[in-house]
Structure 1
Amino acid sequence: HTMSTFLDRYPNLEVHQALKSRVYTGVTVIGVYRRTHPSVVSKTERRDKPFNWQRPTAQVVRNHIFIECFPGKDHVEHQAEIISTYLREKQQQGQILTPPSHVSFAPSSSSDTRRALERSNLTQLPKGVHTVVLGLVHRLDQLTGPVSWDGDGGCFGWTVRQFNNRSVAFIGFRPSFWGDISGEIVRLLASKHGVREVLYVGKLVSVRKGVTPNTQLATGTKSLVGDKVVVWENVLDDSIGRYAATCVTEGTHMSVGGILHDTEDWLAKLPKNVAFVDPETGLMAQAAKESGIRFSYLHIISDNLAENNEGDLSNER
């Protein structure tokens, strides 16, 4: 695996504590967003940041444990993979926990994701927003200034600012913008809120040698999403050229459903033109294009799968 010795660290950080202490007859990952009793919140949650800290909850029903995560096809499968990987490692180490073969998942559909989003506090977003910035918005304090996030503590938080008579909403998500969830968020912003432009500021992974994590930003105008090539205009081009040309790398992106797919064999078979991978960016771009709105991304390169570095997926939190 491209994460090599770090692989055991990553699942341990993500797996719910209820899975670490006893044997269950089965583990089922389901697409349900629930954070109140009888669901039990994960102790692995990092509450030292305002967004991307909520992790799947757990509920035990007659010795069967259900792991509940925000509905999304890729998200549910990814969580099941993490749990299976963790339990397989523990089994190999001689620990008596639930056999990894007893892990399953109930697939989430795009309509499941849409329903969850339509029930969320995103419906309270103020009217008249032209541009939405998604992702690590709490790191953009030079643009937002001091922030008290609106949204009444739901799964989304936002603040709205005016730039050149344009209303810009900076929106963070307390669960994870994983895979197709991100695309459905973009679709909802376009269809229900009239948003005309989405900018995504986050992290992604390089698949090329010679790129040191956390020293470069990434952008681009093309993503491979399944068997499709999604191409768009980069609305950030002028600004990058003017202010950040030396620290931004441009390249072709590829969407991956989950980082545990990223094996050495997978890396060797990647199309040669691919520079970056992550689960969200391409699906956001595709959703924006299908919705007739503009999209661009500017990400920190936080890991490099082509070579081992101190910064990797297990410690980028």
Structure 2
Amino acid sequence: MGASLPRYLDLKIHQAVRERAYDGITVVGAYERSYPSTIFQGEKQDKPFNWQRPTARIINNHLYIECFPGYDYVEHYAEAIASFLGIQQRQGGMLTPPSRVSFQPASCSDTQNALKATSIRGFPEGADTVVLGMVHRLERLTGPVDWAGDGCFAWKVRQFNGRKVAFVGFRPAFWGNISGEVVHYLASQYGVREVLYLGKLGSVKRGLRPNTLLATGGLSYVRGQAVEWENVLRDSVASVAQACTVKGNHITLGSVLHETKNWLASLPSSVDFVDPEVGMMGQAAIQHGIRFGYLHIISDNVAEKYEEDLSNERMRSVLAGRSKLYEVVQDVLGHYLSSAVGRNR
């Protein structure tokens, strides 16, 4: 992220971290939204999903930052805090040495137990297809009906050519292995047969300007191993969005803070995209024998610097570019969900 890193971190770090030095700061896997935990003042509550951020609790001059349980999410936030404090100290913004930062790893069981305690327990039976991610941007497909569910999850159910489709939103972040555990839960507990994921990712190839193109594919490298699936959206992308969609291979990385120059230089030339979730979802889908596809906005370019990146996502040009791309995403999904090919797979 280079020169944009301080601005990115400044948007993410809980106010309690900035207030003073502590005996230590520990990031833990815990979903807490009530007193004595304190809410992050930077939460963007002008959108229905992906806005709840880690909370904070102070016990005996030790600060605990509480993330929705997931190994990648907990580790990422600990690294973000440590990086933020290090930058502040180097810039002379701190009069005392920064607090020592650590994290308690969250297991897959921790994530599953946290999911079971949420409103996902009320998920409707019989959904063939689940659409995850930026579902609040799919107004043409979801329709005017209110979102059902509360707490972490909410959903709308629609029929498309005989297929029952649930659009599912998540108020915390689908970060890293949390996303894979959500797919696992929906497949194992509710018999979901297909998951479509709509989000954003980074390009690792030059020449792909952020917020002007979509990305899709059928392969991700997860911890060095290739995970491959049939991309169920491939034909619909080719039919209605070929001109603005890049097809390529993906690599799953637990944190944007791991996207360093050395990491980029070590990548095989076959890799085109990076984010923390796609491979985790694809891997879970394969394990359960269900279908999977993703269609993401290219929101950042790791290989070369553009004005638009993850540190200024509320810029007018970013919002305008993404708004146009969400229209294309709806064209693709509408084509796929309404087609006999999609229904009979």
Match of 1:249 in 2: 246
For 1:114 and 1:238, locate their aligned partners in 2 and report how far apart those are by CA, in whole Å. Answer: 34
Q: What are the Cα deviations for residues 223-264 of structure 1, in whole angstroms up to 9, with x where unaligned?
A: 100121111111111211111111110000000010001111
Match of 2:307 in 1: 310
Q: What are the Cα deviations for residues 178-212 of structure 1, in whole angstroms up to 9, with x where unaligned?
A: 00000000000000011000000000000000000
2:296 is the counterpart of 1:294: no
Match of 2:330 in 1: none
2:217 is the counterpart of 1:220: yes
Q: Are the aligned partners of 1:30 and 1:66 in contact in 2 as well (CA < 8 Å)?
A: yes
Q: What are the Cα deviations for residues 26-81 of structure 1, in whole angstroms up to 9, with x where unaligned?
A: 10000000000100000010001111100100000011100000000000000000
Q: How many residues align?
A: 314
Percent identity over the alignment is 59
For 1:183 and 1:130, locate their aligned partners in 2 and report how far apart those are by CA, in whole Å. Answer: 18
1:168-179 matches, cutoff 5 A: 168-179=165-176
2:119 is the counterpart of 1:121: yes
Q: What are the Cα deviations for residues 98-128 of structure 1, in whole angstroms up to 9, with x where unaligned?
A: 7456000011000000000011111101100
* 1:147 Cα deviation from its structure 2 partner: 4.1
Match of 1:131 in 2: 129
* TM-score, length-scaled by structure 2: 0.89
Match of 2:269 in 1: 272
Match of 2:180 in 1: 183
2:49 is the counterpart of 1:46: no
Match of 1:65 in 2: 63
* 1:96 Cα deviation from its structure 2 partner: 2.7
Match of 1:200 in 2: 197
Q: Are the aligned partners of 1:179 and 1:280 in contact in 2 as well (CA < 8 Å)?
A: yes
For 2:5 and 2:13, locate their aligned partners in 1 and report how far apart those are by CA, in whole Å. Answer: 13
Runs of 4+ in 1 over 3 A off after TM superposition: 97-101
* TM-score, length-scaled by structure 1: 0.97
Match of 2:147 in 1: 149
Structure with the bigger percentage of helix: 2
For 2:261 and 2:163, locate their aligned partners in 1 and report how far apart those are by CA, in whole Å. Answer: 46
* 1:301 Cα deviation from its structure 2 partner: 0.4
1:9-48 matches, cutoff 5 A: 9-48=7-46
- Identify if the C-alpha distance between structure 1 residues 71 and 119 changes in structure 2 by more than 3 Å, giving closer, same or farther: same
> Which runs of no fewer than 5 residues in structure 1 stay unpaired?
none
For 1:97 and 1:312, locate their aligned partners in 2 and report how far apart those are by CA, in whole Å. Answer: 31
- Identify if the C-alpha distance between structure 1 residues 120 and 97 changes in structure 2 by more than 3 Å, giving closer, same or farther: farther
For 2:251 and 2:301, locate their aligned partners in 1 and report how far apart those are by CA, in whole Å. Answer: 14
- Identify if the C-alpha distance between structure 1 residues 97 and 73 changes in structure 2 by more than 3 Å, giving closer, same or farther: farther
Q: Are the aligned partners of 1:90 and 1:97 in contact in 2 as well (CA < 8 Å)?
A: no
For 2:96 and 2:251, locate their aligned partners in 1 and report how far apart those are by CA, in whole Å. Answer: 34
